[in-house]
Structure 1
Amino acid sequence: MKFTYNQDEAFETDFEFGKLTVSGNEEKGFRPFQLMVSSIAVCSASVLRKVLTKQRMVVHDIQVEADVTRDPARANRLSAIKLHYVIQGDGLTEEKVEKAVQLAAKNCPMAQTVSDTIAITETFELH
């Protein structure tokens, strides 16, 4: 990946899907912490959906909410992310989904990349 400063308080790069603009100023682009949290949340939810599907549970909808804690004493670094899944589907039970959440957490590459530095907790509710 190559990022180029665009003279407007942002860096840009082009991907197959399109242009990505990153800036510390949220009026100029996506903020780095937003991208990091998004990567962890969406990766985790995607892996969870795959696990549920492989376990023959039908998922109609899955949403993930990310509650972020930052540490101002350490350069405002991310210290914790609480992921909460809201899952709608058929054949879903608390026990099966709990096991799937645990399995998915072990297999999400983005979450595993930061697991030693960011506390990630996961909860869910079924609809």
Structure 2
Amino acid sequence: MEFKMKDGGFFLELPYGRLDISGDEEYGFRPYQLLVSSLAVCSGGILRSILEKMRLDVQDIQITADAERNKEIANRVEKVSLHFKIIGRGLHEDKIKKAMDLTRKNCSMVQSVKGSIEVAETFEVIEG
């Protein structure tokens, strides 16, 4: 990846589009937003794949992500909370819990921040 400087930040050209990154939301995505998005979407993609392999009838997965930052230490991200709303038919919480455990173990982004950023996952099952 090659990042190029622009007014207010940097950008990256990718095959599917341009990614603008800046500490100021006026000029692009903030770095912490990309970090949190990486954790959420990596987890969501792995979870989706596991649920499909389990042959569960999942119609939608919605993820809410929140970050806790420490203003005292460079405003670093210390905790990311991910809440998954799993919408489908005939879903059992014990199977979803097993899938969530496998997701944590197999998400490269969650494993990459292990020991430095706490990642807390919760879920709810919604009959669809």
TM-score (norm: length of structure 1): 0.96
Structure 1 stretches of 4+ moved >4 Å? none
Structure 2 equivalent of residue 86 of structure 1: 85
Letter in 2 for 1:31: R
Alignment partners' CA distance in 1, 2:56 and 2:33: 31
Matches within 5 A, 1:1-127: 1-6=1-6, 8-127=7-126
TM-aligned CA deviation for residue 59 of structure 1: 1.0
TM-aligned CA deviation for residue 74 of structure 1: 1.1
TM-aligned CA deviation for residue 51 of structure 1: 0.6
Identical amino acids, percent of aligned pairs: 48
Instruction: State the number of aligned residues.
Output: 126
Letter in 1 for 2:55: R
* Contiguous gaps of at least 5 residues in structure 1: none
Alignment partners' CA distance in 2, 1:32 and 1:42: 15
TM-aligned CA deviation for residue 35 of structure 1: 0.5
Alignment partners' CA distance in 2, 1:116 and 1:17: 33
Q: Deviations over 1:87-113 (max 9, x none)?
A: 111231010000100101100001110
Alignment partners' CA distance in 2, 1:60 and 1:91: 11
TM-score (norm: length of structure 2): 0.96
Letter in 2 for 1:111: V
Letter in 2 for 1:3: F
Alignment partners' CA distance in 2, 1:115 and 1:71: 17
* Contiguous gaps of at least 5 residues in structure 2: none
Q: Which secondary structure state, in structure 1, belongs to the residue aligned with residue 72 of structure 2? A: helix
Alignment partners' CA distance in 1, 2:51 and 2:89: 11
Q: Which secondary structure state, in structure 2, belongs to the residue aligned with residue 21 of structure 1? A: strand
Bigger share in strand: 2
Letter in 2 for 1:112: Q
